Structure formats: C-alpha cells, structure tokens
Structure 1
Amino acid sequence: MTPNWIQDAIFYQIFPDRFCNSGSSLNPRDTVPWNSAPQGHTFTGGDLKGIQSKLQHIANLGCTAIYLNPIFKAGTNHRYDTEDYFLIDPALGTLQDFKDLLDAAHQLNLKVILDGVFNHCSTLFAPFQDLLQHGEESRYRHWFTPYSFPLTHTPYANYATFGNHGSMPRLNTSEKDVQDYFIQVTLYWLSLGVNGWRMDVAFEADFLLWQRLREAVKSQYPEAYLVAEEWRDPFSYLQGDTFDGVMHYTLKDLWFGLAVHDGINAQAFVQAVQTLRNRLPAAHEKAMLTLLGSHDTPRVLTEARDREQTVKLLYTLLMTFPGAPMVYYGDEVGLNGGHDPACRKGMVWQEEHWNRSLYQHIASLIQLRKTQPELRQGTLEFLHADDRVVWYRRTENGQSTYVLINCTHMERDITLPFDAPDQTLMESLTGCSFSVRNGKLHLRSLAPRTSLVFTEVKSETPANPVLV
C-alpha cells in the first residue's frame, strides 16, 4: 500500500548547495559568491541550517513535503558521488543539524524525503578504496565490476561506471552484500524520522534490490514513501513490489508537448494521457511524483521561452492533475536557467527580485488543491478536446472542479459542453462567475494561453455578477 499522506502531498525540491547559506563557517574552500553563475564544480555554501531558516517560506507557499537532493559526504556540489552513506557532508553541517532540520520541518507539518544514490558511489567510498588497495584479493571485489587489475581511470576507467565517469564507480547491486548494505542505510535514516526516499537512476540498479528494500522498509515503516527516478515507462515499478510511485517525467513531456512545444494538439494529448493512465495501476497514480522541472532539466520558465502565461498554464495542469505535485526550488519566484548546471543557480531571497505574479498564481493553485479534495483524490474525466483546448473535470464525493487549458496563441471565443442545462460556475482564482446556458459554457474573447479553474456555485451561495 502507498502511504496515506502521499495523496495530499505537495512537494518542494531543494538542491542543498544552492538553497540558502546560513553563514561562512561551513563553506568549502574557494566557495564562490552566492549570485555567481552556476558551475558544475563550484560550491556556493548552502547548508542544512540555511534550509531550516527558510522552512517557513516552503510552508507559506503551501507545500507539505520536502525532497532533498543528496546530503551525504561527497566531493561535489551535487553529492551524487557518495563517499559515506552514514555521514552528513561536513559542508552541510552535522548529524545534529540534520536532526534539528527534521524536527523543525515536522513541527511545520512538512515531511522530508532523502535522495538515495545506490547505483554508484565515489572512488573514495571505503569498499572501493579497499578494492584499489587489495585488487583481486579485496573482500569487496564483487561489490564492483572491474575489467582488469590494477584499476585505473586514465584515459578510461577499466571498471564499470555511471555515465562513463571514472569518479563514480558503478556498484554491483545484484550482489546480496551490496543489497544488505543499502537496506541498512535506508532503515538507519528512516529510524531518525525521515519520511521516505527518492532512489536515483533506479532503472540501472538490480530489480531485486528494490524488491528486498521495499519489503524491509514497509515491514517497519509502512508510511514511508518510496519513489523512483524513471524517465520512460514506469509500469514495471508500479506492481506493488518495489516503489509507491515514480518521478512522472513521461507526463511532464506530454504537458510540455501540448503547452510549450506545440508538438501535439488537444485530441492527441488526451489520447496519450489516457493511454498512459491506463497503464498505471489505480493504487499508484496518486503517488506519482508529478513535476515541471528538476535539477536534471532546464528551468520551466526557460523551457517555456520566458513566457509567464505558459508557465502559469503548466502550473494549472500540475496542480489539477492526479499525483503528488512538486515545485523545484526557485521556480515559484521566476528563476530561469537551461540545462545543468544553469538550472542549479542560487535561490533568490531578495523579494524585490521575485516574480510576484507567478508566485501568487502558484500559491493560489496550491491553496485551491488543498481546499478542494477532488483535486487531490478525485477522478479525472476529459470532457472536451479540440485543437488547442482541453476541458476536464475532477470529481470526489459529488463535488467537481472543472479545468480549462487553452493553449491557443491568440484571443478567441470558446464554447464548452456542460452536463447540466443551466448552471453558475465560479472561476476559483479570480472569483468571477460564468453562466452555463442550455448545456453550453460560452467564453468570449478569451485571452491566449489561458487556464481557468471552475467550481459549481450552489444555489444558496451568492455569486458575483454573471459574466458571459
């Protein structure tokens, strides 16, 4: 079973080195100024105390859970080259700093999940160092895949690696001792109060690792959330024996194809979404981690070619679709940036530099999602799809919310079908009222790139003047 809390969760992703620097005492040597252009090899000094100091920002936005990129001892700013899975990176703080962060987050009703990099490690990881020292006689010989001895990485590594990076040896996750080790790692951090794990490049690791890990985790921590990184078909990870959900990049691509790239029309979009949903077991759809961007993609504002209205439209999709939506740090205030490392710039904390309109749109959608159960738990039904327009309904316990996604690039009139002859609808973000007449909702001179979210106005509820 998936955790009960996940169906109501709204995540906020943090790349620790770039979120908030609490001071200079922990800064690695040669730390660059906070507003420096992001580089793959530089540190800007973000740390755990800095994250703790900004938890109220996350809570004020309306998020209910945090996904932290790796925090364990490593040699890079991204920390996907783990040196010690039981040690907080000293540049981020201490174990007590992490416990304090957990406590402070939980006091604000924020869950915290960690990033598990179990497919590969650093060359400074103790078992790999043992292999370097003892070669074929190493007790960790079978933890890795050496091609020959002695080991070398010049010009290419003569051992299996992640992404052909000699600095990141690939672990042999089919080996029982390796699986046992990472199960121990996972349970240790859960015992401290962590609420779940996101597993890095889960598709490269042995499937049995995830099956054994899930069994161990769920037997002790049934409410722990387990989510996989997966960029393609998520089906194999959603059979109830490995993960609760996956990062839903496949759905992201469909949203962007419709709203950003003009790659598919409304009918093709709906057909593709329905095909995808039909492959998702119903028990797992609410636990899919839905997103518009992450540390591995260009910023949503950049990918939308700096068109704010398109970003707002995408966030309407994100917050009104099934799944557990995630905001990548800084997207809510209008950070931009292309592919890594540009998508990992320092968070802007000077509010005068925020895009307040975008922030308010996202915060309002989050609040709407939290107050309307059907947006979190309800069914999804497409009512109309034509050209660049999609019209759908979320329903739970007889309560419905209707969503219009208008990807047209010019002002136009739109007529939408409605399953009641006469009705009054309120647009949830503006409070304006619209009238349904003879089973049709007529929207005149609708602005381009518009998204509207409607709820039904009950007869006893006074409405604003009707707009038609």
Structure 2
Amino acid sequence: MKKILTAALILCAITASAQDKKTKAMPDKKKEAAAPQRKAVVYQVFTRLFGNKKTLNRAWGTKEQNGVGKFSDFTDRALSEIKKLGVTHIWYTGVPHHAMVSDYTAYGISNDDPDVVKGRAGSPYAVKDYYNVDPDLADDPSQRLQEFQALIARTHKHGMKVIIDIVPNHIARKYEGKSNPKGVRDFGADDDTSVEYKRDNNFYYIPGKAFQVPVSESYKPLNGEKNPLSDRKFNENPAKWTGNGSREPQPGIDDWYETVKVNYGVRPDGRKDFPEMPQALGGRPYEEHYRFWEGKDVPDSWKKFRDIALYWTAMGVDGFRYDMAEMVPYEFWSYMNSAIKMRNPEAFLMAEVYNPKEYRNYIQFGKMDYLYDKVETYDRLKAVIQGKSLPDPLAEIQLGLGDIEQHMLHFLDNHDEQRLASDAFAGTAEKGKPLMVYSATVGSSPTMIYFGQEVGEAANEDAGFGKPTRTSIFDYIGVPSHQRWMNNGEFDGGQLSAEEKQLRDFYSRLLNFTIASEALMGKYQDIQSINRKKTKGYSEGIYSFVRWSDNEELVIINNFSWVTKSQFNLIIPADVIRNWSLRDGTYRLQDQLYLKEGATLFVNNGVGTIAVTINPSESFVFKLLK
C-alpha cells in the first residue's frame, strides 16, 4: 500500500540506513543462485472485485447493492483465460481477513467499528486475523479457509503460482486472532502496556492516554450513515502508535488511523535491540542467512510474522507481496525470508520499497527477490507520456540499476496507482501501449499487470471512500471494462468493444512473448544516445535498445509520441554487431508482437542500420532471423 513516509517514521529509516555505506562497498554476489531461464508475469487481482457482476456502482453502496466477488468466481474457465494471457503468478490481493463494516457475527466474527475502518468494505491492509481469510470472499463464510484452499489448488492445476499479501508493519486497530493455531498467542496479548517500548512488546504505547478517533469536517464514516458503533469513540487505553508511525493519541484523518504499528525491537530513538548482521552476509545465499539466525534471541514480533508466513507456505501459497517493507528493519526480512526459502526455495518474494538508496539493502541483506521499480522507471514513464520528460533519462536509470535490475519488478498499474488508461495517467489505453512494451522488455525482472489493465480499465467510478482514477480497494464496486471481458461469468470477452478486444490481444501477444524469450533474460544495451545524436528523423518520442542471448537477438523500438509518425534509419552500433557475430550483409527481421516480416538489418563496414517507419504509440520487437 503506497504511502508517503512522514517524519514520524524516521526510526524505520534509521534501521535500514545504518549499513547503506557498507552495502555500496560490497562486491557483487549475484551468483548466489542460478538466474531463472524465463521472465515471470504477475497478474494482480483485487480478489473482492474480480468476480463481481453487478454494475450499479452506487457511491458508498453495500455489497448487496454493488455486489462482491468470491473465490468461486475464479472458475477453471477464468483461470484458463488468465493463463492464456501469459501469466505465471497470480497475486490475490486482499485475501487475509481484514477489518470491515459488514456483520459476520453469526460466524463468530466481531463487528468492526466504522470509526476505525476506511470505507465500507475496509482496507485489505488492516488485517484483523492473519490465520484466516476475508469472509466476504466465501460462498459459505464458515468454510472460507477451505474455499481459499480450493482456489490455491485450482490455480496450481492451471500452471500458475499463488501470491498473497503480508503486511508486517501494521495490523488492524482491532486485531482478533479467532483462528490462531494451537499455542499461538495474539498480537499484544503479552505486552507490558505501562511503557512506551519494550523489546518483546508487539506494539508501541502512549501510556496514560486513551486513543481518540480522528476528526474531520470533510469525512464522516460511512458517509454519515447511522451505525450503532459509529459514535466517534473507540476503546483503546492506553493508545498505541498508529501504523504510519504517528505517536499522537489522536492521529490525523490522513494518518493510517485504522492500523497500529508493529514493534520489531527498534527503540523510539532508532536504536536496535536485536543482533546486527555482519557485512559479509550481504548477498550471501539464504541458507547462510538462515544459519546466522538459528539460536539467536530475536523480538517476539519477528517470530509471530515468521510463523504466519510459514503457515501460508505450508498451505500451498507460493509467495508473498510485502506491504511497505522499508518500514520494517531489513534484519527481520533476512530472518523471515530465509526461513520461507528453507521451506520453499522457489518462493516468490516481492516488496514495496520506495527509497532507491535502500534497494540493495533489502535485496542483499533482506533477501527480497523483487522490489517495485516505482520511483525510477515507473515515475519516469509516467512523466514521458504526460509530456513532462523526454524518454532519454531511461537509459541512465537502467544503467544505475544494472547490478540489481533482475530484482526490479516493472509495472504500470496496481491497486495504489492511478490507472494507466485514466486521464490522470496516459489518458487512453492506446497511449499506454509503448510504456507496456518498454516495461516488459527492458529487464530480466518480472512484469506485473493489474486486472482490467489489459482491457483499458480507467477507474472512472466514485466508489465512496475511493475516488476516480484508482480502482477502490475500500469499497464494494464494479470494474466496468473488466466486467465486459468477464461477460457474466463466461470469461470470453463477449461484451468488449472491438478496441478493447484488440488491446487484450496486444497484451496477450506481448506477455506470452516475454515469458518465452531467452534474450529477455540475457544482455541489454542502450542504443538511444547514438541514435539521438546521429540519426535523422529520430524524433524526441522514440526510444530504442537491444537485448540478446546466445540464441536470440532483439531490437526494441518504442514511439512514446501519440501524434508523431517517424521515419529513420536506426543505427545498430559496431560493438553490438560484433557481440552478435554478424558479418557485412543483409538479415531479415520479424516483429514478435504481430509476427510480421519485412524489416531488414543491413550491416556495412561492421555497422548496422534498419529502415524504420513507426506510427504514434507503436512499438516493434524485432527478432533477428538467421
């Protein structure tokens, strides 16, 4: 869940930055594990919204009015069509049981107070019970865990892996572990609440002060609807620190007041009450990290979250997406991630980290497989398509990430960000196509798309708590473009427009190519600068690079301009021609998106040229045919 770090979160940054200089000085140890042979594609679905067929879309609507999707909506047909799109992993967002306003007391679940719930459906990042799943998602809430287990099995049957969220930084203000395995103590059950901090407390406290509900003139829980619990009161005494680090007994309306921050043994002044990792351990295999932590005395919260992750791993979950990982010390991540990898070496571990200076710490010390490439690649692409930047700085970004590029997951849509097709981003799905080609082909790291992106969802709905441009995660709402593809459960695109069908076909072609391409796991070289300097007609919106392996050579050209058609002779520099072992002559090229031939690579005196005519928002992925 993307959020802006505030001054109150300095203690979190301190824990991560202590070894920043050490990390930069470390030798490259990328050979700790064999690189995967093909790229991965992650399909993020907001589980509650995916199967919803209702189209009323009333602001602040109930689930009865606006509808709610279920685990069972992921039918064999649905999963088969997702697989055909080129997907290798499904991230089922919002699965763990989180706080919500709906009444499930008939199933032994307590009601949540609207004063500390965002929206009506609640935030999936305010988890209420880590050992069970959201009752909204089940046909029979009493069998909700079994229904999710069946979904895991169906997903695996269709050849895809399962990812769910874990949110170690914070939990719901009213956490109740009603499903704890035998011997598992609830968060805070053994805390000494008389002090602000103690190493093995699960929370930070504000002794002598009770929690007060935030007040705002512009926001009323449930939009002012009457509810027995909505009285601007919530019983929490003493008050706990709020999830984003606020130490006030009455957090602000923009704080994460629906959550409380978890204590990982970091004192309020930033000092750490746990063993520090030796510099030499950075970048070493997970087995060495696991051995380092064996027998070490670590804070109680570390053990609780490790056990939660291993619980889901044992159930068949193949990986995790970690919310706001940089707000938790990377020493903890080493401890937990190495334990997960010991159970499942192929576990897929991806995380939100928005501080580029900390990327290497969370990869090399924290043992993360993948981090969001948001702050650099995503932000630059957004600026390019909005006319605020030339694409040329992308080369510098890729060069700067060269030693860790295989760990930097690329995306253009997710639940936190404005939809790619929205007016606040690209404006149209068509304009977003070259951004998608770049994101999917520039690195060897995974590509992620968000359900509905492939049919141009623009999130125009006012859902209530959630507003247009983002598909709301807090409300019961429909996703119109996706619903047209879903076609009342047929999952055949029967209601899509011709343009939407063409867009989904484009995504399918691109993603399936990426997971099959050997070159995209190979080498990268920028050819942008030489063409910008020397090539006549190479307009400002063009961006090009090459990728290759022993058996495949690619030339990738994107036209980020949505108005300018360009014609030019693209230069393939001499060093690339040498690396590809090409002699002077003529070589056929085939575009891998639409399998069209006709382009030709001419090599003369060791330098290559390709005559290119490229339309606005068009891309080519040329493969050398030998």
Q: Normalising to structure 1: TM-score of the pair?
A: 0.85
What code does the residue aligned with 2:41 have?
I
Q: Does the C-alpha gap of structure 1 residues 395 and 273 become closer, same or farther in structure 2, counting only changes over 3 Å?
A: same
**Does the 8 A contact of 2:553 with 2:624 survive in 1?**
yes
Alignment of 1:426-445 (within 5 A): 426-430=590-594, 431-437=596-602, 438=604, 439-444=608-613
Aligned AA for 2:456? G
Task: Tell me the distance in 2 between the aligned counterparts of 1:174 and 1:15.
Answer: 33
Q: Any conservation in 2 of the 1:130–1:140 contact (CA below 8 Å)?
A: no
1:226 to 343, 349, 359: 349
- The answer for the alignment partner of 1:271 in structure 2 is 396
Map Cα deviations across residues 298-327 of structure 1 (whole Å, 9 max, x no partner): 111114443333211112112212210011
CA–CA distance in structure 1, aligned partners of residues 128 and 37 of structure 2: 31
Change (3 A) 1:173 1:141: closer
How much has 1:379 moved relative to structure 2? 1.1
Distance in 1 of aligned mates of 2:378 and 2:203: 34
Distance 1:124 1:206 in 2: 24
Letter in 2 for 1:294: N
* Alpha carbons of structure 1 residues 20 and 6: separation in structure 2 relative to 1, 3 Å: farther
Alpha-carbon distance in structure 1 between the residues aligned to 2:73 and 2:589: 44
Q: Which has the larger displacement, 312-321 or 421-430?
A: 421-430
Q: Distance in 2 between matches of 1:119 and 1:457?
A: 50
2:386 maps to 261
Q: Residue 337 and residue 39 in structure 1: after superposition, are their counterparts in 2 closer, same or farther (change >3 A)?
A: farther
C-alpha deviation, 1:46, in angstroms: 1.6
Aligned-pair distance for 1:13? 0.1
Deviation at 1:364, TM superposition (A): 0.6
Q: Deviations over 1:243-301 (max 9, x none)?
A: 1111221321222233x1233324322123212x23x43xxx33432111100001111
Structure 1: distance between partners of 2:598 and 2:154: 41
1:329 to 432, 439, 451: 451
Hey, what does 1:195 align to over in structure 2?
318
The 3-state SS of whatever aligns with 1:162 is: coil
Q: Residue 83 of structure 2 corresponds to which residue in structure 1?
A: 59
Structure 1 residues 121, 6: closer, same or farther in 2, change over 3 A?
farther
The 1-side partners of 2:69 and 2:199 are apart by 34
1:13 maps to 2:44: yes
Q: 1:359 to 1:2 in 2, by over 3 A?
A: farther
1:246 lines up with 2:371 in the alignment: yes
Write out per-residue CA displacement over residues 220-245 of structure 1, whole angstroms, 9 at most, x where no aligned residue: 22111211111231232121543111
Q: Secondary structure at the match of 2:87?
A: coil
Instruction: For residue 360 of structure 1, report the CA deviation from its aligned partner.
Output: 0.7
Q: Which moved more, 1:301-310 or 1:85-94?
A: 301-310
Partners of 1:7 and 1:324 within 8 A in 2: no
> Contact 1:3 / 1:222 at 8 angstroms: preserved in 2?
no
1:169 equivalent in structure 2: 260
Match of residue 153, structure 1, among 212, 215, 220: 212
User: Residues 588 and 625 of structure 2 are in contact (CA less than 8 Å); yes or no, is this contact kept in structure 1?
Assistant: yes
| Distance in 1 (alpha carbons) for counterparts of 2:34 and 2:413 | 24
Structure 2: 5+ residue stretches without partners: 1-31, 101-120, 139-143, 177-185, 216-235, 245-254, 267-298, 472-477, 488-492, 533-539
SS at match of 2:611: strand
| Aligned equivalent of 2:129, options 67, 78, 84 | 84
Residue identity in the other structure for 2:211 = T
For residue 237 of structure 1, what is the aligned residue in structure 2?
Answer: 362
Q: Is the 8 A contact 2:519 2:551 kept in 1?
A: no
Q: Who is 2:547 aligned against? A: 394
1:304·1:310 contact (CA, 8 Å) conserved in 2? no
8 A contact 2:330–2:365 mirrored in 1: no
* Contact kept in structure 1, 2:94 and 2:164, CA below 8 Å: yes
Write the distance in 2 (CA, Å) between the matches of 1:264 and 1:162.
35
Aligned residues: 439
Correspondence for 2:496: 353
TM-score of the superposed pair, with normalisation by structure 2: 0.65
SS in 2 for 1:151: coil
**Residue number in structure 2 paired with 1:36:** 57
* 8 Å CA contact 2:428, 2:456 repeated in 1: no
8 Å CA contact 2:435–2:560 kept in 1: the answer is no
- Say which one has the larger Rg: 2
Aligned counterparts of 1:237 and 1:47: Cα–Cα separation in 2: 34
Q: Does 1:414 align with 2:568?
A: yes
Q: What is the one-letter code of the residue matched to 1:335?
A: E
Inter-partner Cα distance in structure 1 for 2:49 and 2:314: 27
Give 2:202's aligned residue. 143
**What letter matches 1:168 in structure 2?**
T
User: What residue number does 2:587 align with?
Assistant: 423
User: Which residue of 2 is the match for residue 384 of structure 1?
Assistant: 528
1:28 aligns with none
> What secondary structure is seen at the aligned counterpart in 2 of 1:46?
coil
Please say if 1:295 is aligned against 2:415.
yes
Q: Do the aligned partners of 1:203 and 1:230 also contact (CA within 8 Å) in 2?
A: yes
Distance 1:217 1:40, change over 3 A: farther
The aligned counterpart of 2:616 is: 448
Aligned-pair CA distance for 1:40: 10
Q: Equivalent residue for 2:4?
A: none
Q: Partner letter of residue 526 of structure 2?
A: F
Q: Look up the SS of the partner of 2:367 in the other structure.
A: coil
Q: Contact conserved, 2:588 with 2:597, CA < 8 A, in 1?
A: no
Q: Distance in 2 between matches of 1:105 and 1:5?
A: 21
AA paired with 2:567? D
**Once superposed, what is the RMSD of the aligned Cα atoms?**
2.9
Q: Secondary structure of 2:171's match?
A: coil
Deviates more, 1:157-166 or 1:391-400: 157-166
Partner Cα distance (2:37, 2:316) in 1: 16
* Partner in structure 2 of residue 50 of structure 1: 73
**CA separation of 1:374/1:6 partners in 2, compared to 1, >3 Å: closer, same or farther?**
closer
Identity fraction in percent: 21
More strand by share: 1
Tell me how far 1:205 sits from its aligned partner. Answer: 1.5
Given that 2:95 and 2:133 are in contact with CA atoms closer than 8 Å, whether structure 1 keeps it comes out as: yes
Unaligned runs of at least 5 residues, structure 1:
23-32, 459-468
Contact 2:199 2:265 in 1 (8 A): no
Name which structure has the greater RCO, CA cutoff 8 Å, separation 6+: 2
| Shift in Å, 1:365 | 0.6
1:16 and 1:363 mapped to 2: Cα distance? Answer: 21
Partner of 1:123: 173
Matched to 1:297, the amino acid is: E
Distance verdict in 2 for CA 1:3–1:295, change over 3 Å: farther
